[in-house]
Structures are given as C-alpha cells and as structure tokens.
Amino acid sequence: MKLIKYAFIFALIFALKISNAQEKYTPEWESLKTHKAVPEWFANAKLGIYFHWGVYSVPAKGGEWYPRWMYVPDRENLWGSEIYEEHRATYGEDFDYHDFIPMWKAPKFDAKEWVDLFEGMGAKFIGSIAEHHDGFSLWNSKVNEWNSASMGPHIDVVKAIAEETKKRDLKFMATFHHGFHNMFYVKPENSFLRPVSKYNLTYDNCEVPQDEKYRKLYCNMDYAEAQDLWLNKLNEVIDAHCPDYIWMDFGQRFIDEQHRQQFLSNYFNKAAEENKEVVVNTKGDFFPTKLAVVNVERATMEDITPNVWITDFILGSAWCYDKTKRTAIQPAKAIRMLAEVVSKNGIMLLSAGPMADGTIPLEQVKAMEGIGAWMKLYGEAIYNTRPFVAYGEGTTELKRDPEDAWNEYGGIKKGLNNLNAEDVRFTQNGKTIYAIQLGWPGASQEKLLTTFADKAKHLKIKSISVLGSNEKISWKRTKQGLRITSPKQKPAEADAALVYKIELKN
C-alpha cells in the first residue's frame, strides 16, 4: 500500500513539473503581464553601474551620438551640435564613422579591473553596454558583422564583463539603446516615423555611405528588416548570457508591438529555463508597468511610489568619455542623490565613460572610490531597505522643469544638486529606521524631525545611535517631533551624509 502511495506522489510531482515546464510566456500582453516586474534581489540592490564605451569613444567628443551629429549639417536641432564642421576639419571630408573602427584598439581593457572598481563602489548589479544607437554590437554577433569581437578591439565586451560579474555575488545587466538606430539615417521616403517627436530627431539631409557592405551599420534597410535585426540582436545576448537585467533606452518605443512582445517572451522564457528572476525597464510606455520597471533619466520622483523605479546618472562629464571636459560626479553629491532616490522606492544606476584604450579616467575612479568609502561604512542604510512612512523632510525644493527636453518621460530634476544638511531622507529595514542627514551639520547641532509628530507619531522609539560614532547622542520626543543632536566628533565620510539609526519598540 505504501509503495502505491509513494508511486502516486512521485507521479504527481512529475506531472506538476511537466505542467510547469509547459507554461511558457507567449508574445501577448495578457501572458507577459504575469511576469513579476520587481524581484527581491532588485528591490534590495539599490545601486548599479554600467558604461558607455564604443567606436564613439575614439573621437571622444560630442558624446555617444557623435556618429549621428557628424552626418547632420543642419544644426537647428535640440542640442545645437557643431560636430558636423568639427569632424570635417579634424578628419577630412571623406572620413566616415566606420573609419574610426580600426582606431579602436583597447589595449588596456581589463574586465577584472573594471568589475573590481564597480564592486568596490558598492554596486550590486553591474552591466555592459551591448549596443548604442550606432549599430555597432559589443559582443560576438552572428547577425551583425559590425561588432567588437570581429573588428576594432577584437573583444567580446559583453561576455568579458558578464563572466567577471558572475564570478561574484553580483547580478549582470546588459543595456540596449539600439531601438533608436533605425531612425537616424533612413531616407525620408523610407522613414516610418516622421516627425518622430517635437524634437526633430530625424533629418532629411543626413547622408551616410550607401555601399551595400555598410547597410547594417548605417541601417540602410526598410523598417521590417530593421526590426527583425533589432530582435535578433537581443536574442543572441539572451541565449548566450541571459542577463539578470536588460536595460532599455527610450528608442524601443519606435519598434512595433509584435517585436516588443516577442522579445519579452523570449527573455522571460529563457530566464524561466535558467531559474532566474529577471528585470526589464520601460522608459516611457513601450512596455506595460505591470511587467517592467519605470526608468526616469537623471531624475527623482515627487514622493514615494508604490512600485520600485530606477533612474540613471552620469559618473563622468558625459555618458561616454569626453576628452574636452575631464570631470566626474562629486561622491557626496552621488550619495545624497542615492539617499533621495532610495527614500522614494527608487534605485540608482550610474554610467562610467572609459577611454577608447580601455582606461577608466582617474577622476571617475576617484569618484567611485569616494562613493564606495561611504557605502562600505553606511550601506546598511541603503541596501535591503524599503521606504518609511515619509520619504523625508528639509528645505531643498525639488520640482519638475517644464523646459527639460526629456520631461515627457517623467521625473523631477530641479534641485537635486542642492541637497544639503538641512535635508533628511528616511529608509527602513524592519524595526530599524535610518534618518540620513544629507551633509555634516556641525558638532552638537540639533535637528527636529517633524515626521515623528505626524505620520510616524504612533511609533515608539527604543534607541537612537549614529553610524560610525561611539558617542551616546542626545534625543528627545516632543509634540513638535523628534529632536536629535549630532555627535561632537564627525564620523568618517559624514561630510557626504550622516546616518542616525533609530530602533523601534513596536
């Protein structure tokens, strides 16, 4: 009788496994929306990094959109680029974008060195750019002969970063910006979206090489073929690496719905096969937020959001390396923005800009080291936390800029650079509340947290300490709120932010 019972149980388990294996995502929104948009690992990570590196790193001027501006004589556009004339003055009339490829050698590229830096900064997910708007893939592509493994540096960049990242307890991300590629150079008669937007991002007089051998690089193809190539590129990276996160730039909104759905079903099914919980973001509305994380560029939200979101910022002076402006983000500024973002249920992604030879500029290295120094000491106030009953309080006004070119994608930018010690941001992990003061207020300075007289008035406090300090600090609960006093001695790295650890009774 027991044998029959066990046989029945095993048969049932086997049947359930077969049933689950057959439950695949289909390229329809109803099926795709069953995908969990935000796995726990992503909600806990809080900080990630990737990089902009490619053929455009050779001229190292005018940003990663150099391959477009160099072909646009009409400068009456959003950015007022002067790259067209400068390119011809520097390289000559007949020097095309593909002529930069042999110049991209990257002798100093070291995936381990890069990932060491990224991990040391405190990033919990690390990415490689897979392809930008220029049509040049950074992996060993079979569908696109224009790739970094076959020419230029002869390096499979995506594979190198993926393998190095996966050796550690970190998640791997690949970024795709290529949905925008097939609208850069298309002739007016072949354009599938004109005008694309109020910013006039396509050009009637944009001339690129028409030779058949360059057709994929410059997207000299019709809309249907360009979209198939878009999907096939994604499928190659998914099949080879199945990234934990595929980051998408806003250009995917120019891809038709059927191709977008097919990409998602391919990605989600591959992840299910590998027992991975994966993430995809939407910058705008090209994916439903039921299955994707909202991304806003270099911005924050007005208040705490019910769903996790992500924002991306520049580590250097531009998305890619710019030899004309060697600056990097101030670590204190990055930490304050990180606290602001996390307090509102967000995640921050930074982008490095390596030089063409594979060197990460010293100013960017120092910025990462500075961020990492604070995160090593006070990361508990960031990682694995969730929003408190209020995101924070303070005097700095954050507001939407109606003149911002990317305002249509949401997010608030004005005021982010001004966060200071008058501002406090809250995070929570269980019975522990972290009050992150965005700067050192000075020794023995009192701060009133009015949230504890309002939204948090029901909470009973057990103890308060300052991370990085052995001093017993003074605090008092009043009708006006919670009065806390900074320590006499400044803790290490507190110029960026001071962290009060508030333990609750209930």
**What digits encode the pLDDT tens for the residues 127-160?**
999 999 899 999 999 999 999 999 999 999 999 9
Nearest to 67 by CA among 184, 229, 152: 184
Residue 357's contacts (CB-CB under 8 Å, 6 or more residues apart) are 105, 106, 107, 108, 109
CA–CA distance from 149 to each of 51, 126, 159, 233, 321 (Å)?
18, 21, 10, 14, 21
Same domain (yes/no): 361, 479:
no
177 and 319 together in one domain: yes
What is the per-residue DSSP string for 362-419?
HHHHHHHHHHHHHHHHHGGGTTT-B--SS-EE-S---B--TT-TTGGG--B-BTGGG-
Which residues are CB-neighbours of 247 under 8 A, at least 6 positions away? 50, 127, 173, 174, 175, 176, 280, 281, 295, 349
Instruction: Looking at the structure, tell me whether residues 307 and 212 fall in a common domain.
Output: yes
Residue 59 in any domain: the answer is yes
> What confidence score (pLDDT) does residue 251 get?
87
> Do 262 and 360 belong to one domain?
yes
Is 9 a member of any domain? no
Q: What is the tally of structural domains in the chain?
A: 2
**Domain of 97: which CATH number?**
3.20.20.80
pLDDT digits (tens, 9 = 90+) for 433-465: 999 999 999 999 999 999 999 999 999 999 999
Residue 295 lies in a domain: yes
Mean pLDDT of 318-322: 96
Q: What would the pLDDT profile of 218-260 be if each residue is shown by its tens digit?
A: 888 888 888 999 999 999 999 999 999 999 998 898 899 999 9
Asked if the structure places residue 315 within a domain, the reply is yes
Structural domain contains residue 17:
no
Look at residue 219 in the predicted model and tell me its pLDDT. 85
CA distance 471 to 483: 16
* Arithmetic mean of pLDDT, 62-83: 74
- Determine the pLDDT at residue 333: 98
Regarding whether 490 and 347 lie in a shared domain, the answer is no
Q: Same structural domain for residues 55 and 77?
A: yes
CB neighbours (10 Å) of residue 258? 12
Q: What is the model's pLDDT at position 405? A: 55
Q: Evaluate whether 459 touches 394 at the Cβ level (below 8 Å).
A: no
For 385, the token pair is 């936390």
Sort 202 into a burial class: Cβ within 10 Å, 0-12 / 13-18 / 19+.
Answer: buried
For the cut 60, the answer to whether the pLDDT of residue 343 exceeds it is yes
Assigned domain for 5 exists: no
Residue 402: the pLDDT is: 73
pLDDT single digits (tens) 289-316: 999 999 999 999 999 999 999 999 999 9
Rounded CA separation 363/346 (Å): 26
Q: Specify whether 351 is located in the same domain as 471.
A: no
Are 338 and 435 in a shared domain? no
On whether both 360 and 398 belong to a single domain, the answer is no
Query: Please, which residues bridge with residue 352 across strands?
Result: 51
Residues 92 and 225 in one domain: yes
Bridge partner residues of 482 (DSSP): 449, 477
Q: Are residues 281 and 321 in the same domain?
A: yes
The one-character DSSP state at 300 is B
Long-range contacts: 23-26, Cβ < 8 Å, 24+?
A: 24/265, 24/269, 24/272, 25/264, 25/265, 25/268, 25/269, 25/272, 26/265
155-205 residue pLDDT tens: 999 999 999 999 998 999 999 999 887 655 444 444 444 333 333 444 555
Q: What is the mean pLDDT of residues 385-395?
A: 98
pLDDT at 25: 98
Domain CATH number, residue 419: 2.60.40.1180
* Domain hosting residue 121, numbered range: 29-381
Asked whether residue 317 falls in the same domain as residue 421, the answer is no
Give percent above pLDDT 90 in the chain. Answer: 77
Q: Name the residue among 143, 135, 234, 235 with its Cα closest to residue 186.
A: 135
Residue 308 forms part of a structural domain: yes
Assess contact for 464 and 503: CB atoms under 8 A.
yes
pTM here is 0.92
Query: In this structure, is residue 1 part of a structural domain?
Result: no
> Would you say residue 10 has pLDDT above 70?
no
